[in-house]
Amino acid sequence: MQLIDTLLTQAAGIAALRRDIHAHPELCYEEVRTADLVAAQLAGWGIPVHRGMGTTGVVGIVQGRDGGACGRAIGLRADMDALPMQEHNTFSHASQHAGKMHACGHDGHTAMLLAAAQHFAKHRCFDGTVYLIFQPAEEGGGGAREMIKDGLFDKFPVEAVFGMHNWPGLPVGTFAASAGPVMASSNEFHIVIRGKGAHAALPHNGIDPVPVACQMVMGFQTIITRNKKPVDAGVISVTMVHAGEATNVVPDSCEIQGTVRTFTYEVLDMIERRMQEIAEHTCAAYGATCEFRFKRNYPPTHNHALETAFARAVMAEIVGADCVVEQEPTMGAEDFAYMLQARPGCYAFIANGDGAHREIGHGGGPCMLHNPSYDFNDDLIPLGATYWVRLAEKWLGQPRSGAAA
């Protein structure tokens, strides 16, 4: 691997910051301490800071050797928030806040971008400006959307924006990036079936919503198997069914909740329409009524072709072409999708390893994302930071005509 020497030298100090963030996790829009830490580090390195965008967002402004006079700019984004989970790890930097945990590696994402920021501050080997975007509230809060609403790309105009997420299971030293959809849209549904309660021994006196719910859940799966083209991706997951309070009472209502994930709006539109039709008509067939709510959360994360090819070339120079793989699309969701809707760019993945990096006493279970035994691999910090540095330098060093419009 072709790592930058200074990033290796400063890696231990940045790892200590990462572990401090891990020990003090903050949920979406509550990242006050984390934002304070990020802002203090940036300011201490002589990097101007803008705060408050998206409530707790931080943007560092690094101007190159020309003072940014050429007008060119690139955006690099890291997320800062934690998850509402109880950590099982027992190592010294485990969460100090019950019910909160950095189980997705956002502490590591922040650390990698901080490492790059420290290098940028000392070695401004580019013309133009690098905007360091430390985003809040990725885990369901739509922090990227809110930063954009607050004028992120108006105040800090960029030619392209790039993001990166750690990915457990792949060997350290591997990157993955692909053009097109790499993560799905995330959507929720909430259905209330209204029937008529009765004694369980006299069910004919009521309208039982439970068998209606059972028919509805099975009917939803025909949308995937019979209404959607087999080559189009889509998932309907009913994850909650709630009804009744007593074994001898037919309940008067039943609630169904779950998620829908797709890579395109065309498939999403069809699924939402068919779900509502099936829900309402199934209820009508049994004499019940229906309340149908469908909430669209994150859009699909869709990488742009030119920027993805550029990012892959940078990765290959660092780790070798054999260690830059295609990212298989996942039905997980990511709010960096909003940034890719606003500006061209690429969302890439950096391998987090198989979990062997964890210390003794880490707890049981695999080191996967959103797992109570997860921990970010600090060995990635100089590698991820090298990618950020080389990406920015090479992007700003190419002819303007080569940059995406």
161 and 310 both lie in a single domain: yes
Residues 36 and 135 both lie in one domain? yes
Length of the chain measured in residues: 405
Enumerate the β-bridge partners of residue 242: 255
Question: 313 and 171: one domain?
Answer: yes
What global pTM score does this model have? Answer: 0.94
Picking from 275, 296, 317, the residue at the C-terminal end of a domain is 296
Q: What is the CATH number of the domain that holds 280?
A: 3.30.70.360
Q: How many structural domains compose the chain?
A: 2
Interatomic CA distance for residues 387 and 108, integer angstroms: 14
Q: Say if residue 258 is in the same domain as residue 277.
A: yes
195: its two tokens: 């029937």
d(CA 369, CA 107): 13
pLDDT tens digits, 166-215: 999 999 999 999 999 999 999 999 999 999 999 999 999 999 999 999 99
Give yes or no: residues 38 and 165 share one domain. Answer: yes
Instruction: Supply the pLDDT for residue 405.
Output: 39
Q: Is the pLDDT of residue 401 over 60?
A: no
Which domain-ending residue is among 279, 296, 313? 296
Q: Do 33 and 168 sit in the same domain of this protein? A: yes
73-79, strands of its sheet edge to edge: 49-53, 57-63, 129-135, 73-79, 160-168, 345-353, 175-176, 324-325
pLDDT in tens, 220-263: 999 999 999 999 999 999 999 999 999 999 999 999 999 999 99
How far apart CA 254 and CA 241 sit, in angstroms, is 7
pLDDT value, residue 327: 95
- Residue 339, domain extent: 5-184+300-402
Say how far apart CA 174 and CA 68 lie, in whole Å.
Answer: 33
The residues, ordered by sequence, that sit 6+ positions from 397 with a Cβ below 8 Å of its Cβ are 126, 127
Closest CA relative to residue 273, chosen from 187, 331, 211, 212: 187
Q: Which of 78, 52, 76 is nearest to 62 (CA)?
A: 76
Residues 163 and 202 in one domain: no
Q: State which amino acid sits at residue 376.
A: F
d(CA 21, CA 267): 39
What tokens were used for 342? 């606003």
Q: Which of 269, 296, 323 is the last residue of a domain?
A: 296
